[in-house]
Amino acid sequence: MPALTALALDALIFIGLAWAVWRALGRSIPIAVIPIVIGLLLAATGVLPASWGVPSKPGDQIGFVGVLLLAFTAGLETRQSAHLPGAPDAAPLPHRQALRFVASAGMALLLPFAVGTFAAHAWLADLPGWAAPRGGAWMGAFAIGLCIAVSALPVLIGIVRELGPLHRPLTQLALRIAVIDDAVLWAGLALLLLVAEGGSLLAGASPLHLLAAGVAVLLAAAGTLATRMRAPPAWLVWLSLPLFLLAGAWASTQLGLHALLGAYFGGAMVPPAWTRRLPVERLGQVALIGLAPLFFGHSGLKIDGSVLGWASLQASLVLLVLAVGAKLVAVLLCPPASTLSRRDALAVGALLQCKGLMEIVAATILRDHGLLSEHAFAALVTLAVLSTLLTGPFFRALVRRRPQADTDGHQTA
């Protein structure tokens, strides 16, 4: 089949069909998971003829550009509060509350990571086909633990917007924690990949490696210097975006990491005063709806259909129980605010257990570097889908009996 025809069919399946299903379901399911489900179904059934040329090479490239833009906007979102629904000028927390909040965010990351890591090492590592191709049993377990600890910031923002202003105090707490989770996720990914490379990266450092490291340092310095320019012209802001994105992606690729890590880093280096002048949400939506579905659909489609069976579903369900349970226990042990009731703390945990596309991106990076097997990748993708679908209904069930709040976040009798 001609390349252009294959690309058109590719886009029709993973962009057009996914969008139509999303609208037909009343947007009740996050659009990020629909192309993944389509890809998983096609991989499991094998009904897509190979002669159709799907996934197409141009589709792979377009999808990768889309997910690069998603990673970049996720980096932008970590440096500003304007993207948070109902919180255009979120005030900083008092010192004592800030310490409690950071402790809660740390617990919400560390407990699921520890539970996921030890469960993966004790149980999953011995299952047929689950051993990581490289790095050994512990590195594979760390990779699964990192995916279990993820909270999906971009998808969670969309879910919170759909929930509306009624439960804003709880949703804002969850989003603030998810911002921290998102930053730690990317830092953890970078660290895990560096450890997986061993000493080879440093021992065999070439002039190109040194240049890439210098570019990363220059990005950070440029972001710091740019904060002094409070009102930059719009043309300069827009001109800087592709420079930060491309420089970050190139540097991380040359350092043996993943381009998505550099794209996120590049976005995080753009000063908050600059990002507030950007339509970050619109950029993210363009990537999420018009480009990245090809990436996520192909991720599902490229999974070996033979690993999608009852055993994989069982593993996904067990990991789902561990991920949800660990998040809920974490917020109960260390709530992000002292005024939260137990039910409210559980509601925050219900939002934080959302995996969404960030887990799929993380799992894709780890699989590409040999730290996840195909069985583990398939189970984690299924976990991400189930977790995301669970988020909205789970949160609503927990807050159903909560006293109603007005749009300013004050409870009413």
How many Cβ atoms sit within 10 Å of the Cβ of residue 206? Answer: 9
pLDDT in tens, 242-266: 999 999 989 888 876 778 778 888 8
Q: Mean pLDDT over residues 226-253, rounded?
A: 85
Domains of the chain: 3-399 (1.20.1530.20)
* Alpha-carbon gap, residue 313 to 75, rounded angstroms: 32
Least reliable range by pLDDT among 91-100, 225-234, 283-292: 91-100
Q: Which pLDDT belongs to residue 410?
A: 42
Q: Which amino acid is at 234?
A: A
Q: Which pLDDT belongs to residue 112?
A: 92
Mean pLDDT for all residues in the chain = 80
Q: Mean pLDDT over residues 349-370, rounded?
A: 84
Which of residues 233 and 202 earns the better pLDDT score? 233
Task: Name the pLDDT band for 386 (thresholds 50, 70, 90).
Answer: confident
CA dihedral 377, 378, 382, 387 (to 10 degrees): -10
Task: Name the pLDDT band for 11 (thresholds 50, 70, 90).
Answer: very high
pLDDT in tens, 266-281: 888 888 878 878 888 7
Which residue, chain included where needed, has tokens 């998810």? 178
Task: Name the pLDDT band for 92 (thresholds 50, 70, 90).
Answer: low
Least reliable range by pLDDT among 65-74, 218-227, 298-307: 298-307
> b/e string for 253-286 if b means 16 or more Cβ within 10 A?
ebbbbbbbbbbbbbbbbbbebbbbebebbebbeb
| Residue 13 pLDDT > 50 | yes
| Residue 408 pLDDT > 70 | no
Q: Express as a percent the part of the chain with pLDDT over 70.
A: 85
Q: Which pLDDT belongs to residue 145?
A: 92
* β-bridge partners, 411: 405
169 touches 409 (CB < 8 A):
yes
Q: Which pLDDT belongs to residue 288?
A: 83
pLDDT in tens, 310-338: 777 888 899 999 999 999 999 999 888 88
Q: Which pLDDT belongs to residue 402?
A: 52
* Alpha-carbon gap, residue 166 to 237, rounded angstroms: 35
pLDDT in tens, 165-217: 667 778 778 877 887 777 788 788 888 888 877 655 555 567 777 888 888 88
Which of residues 402 and 65 earns the better pLDDT score? 65
Phi, psi at residue 405, to the nearest 5°?
A: -125, 150
Using alpha carbons, select from 48, 58, 57 the residue that is nearest to residue 17: 48
Q: Which pLDDT belongs to residue 86?
A: 46
Q: Mean pLDDT over residues 152-159, rounded?
A: 69
Q: Mean pLDDT over residues 57-61, rounded?
A: 90
* Alpha-carbon gap, residue 376 to 195, rounded angstroms: 20
How far apart, in Å, are the Cα atoms of 110 and each of 104, 107, 228, 323, 352?
10, 5, 36, 12, 13
Q: Which pLDDT belongs to residue 99?
A: 82
Task: Name the pLDDT band for 71 (thresholds 50, 70, 90).
Answer: confident
373 touches 141 (CB < 8 A):
no
Using alpha carbons, select from 213, 245, 240 the residue that is nearest to residue 225: 240
Q: Which pLDDT belongs to residue 311?
A: 74
pLDDT in tens, 287-307: 888 888 898 888 778 777 667
Residue 151, token pair as written in the block: 């909270």
Task: Name the pLDDT band for 82 (thresholds 50, 70, 90).
Answer: very low
Contacts of 292 (CB under 8 A, 6+ apart): 32, 63, 66, 67, 69, 70, 357
Q: Which amino acid is at 357?
A: L
Q: Mean pLDDT over residues 50-78, rounded?
A: 85
| Residue 413 pLDDT > 60 | no
Cis peptide before 55 (omega within 30 of 0): yes
> b/e string for 237-247 if b means 16 or more Cβ within 10 A?
beebbeebbbb
Q: Which pLDDT belongs to residue 25?
A: 83
Which of residues 121 and 198 earns the better pLDDT score? 121
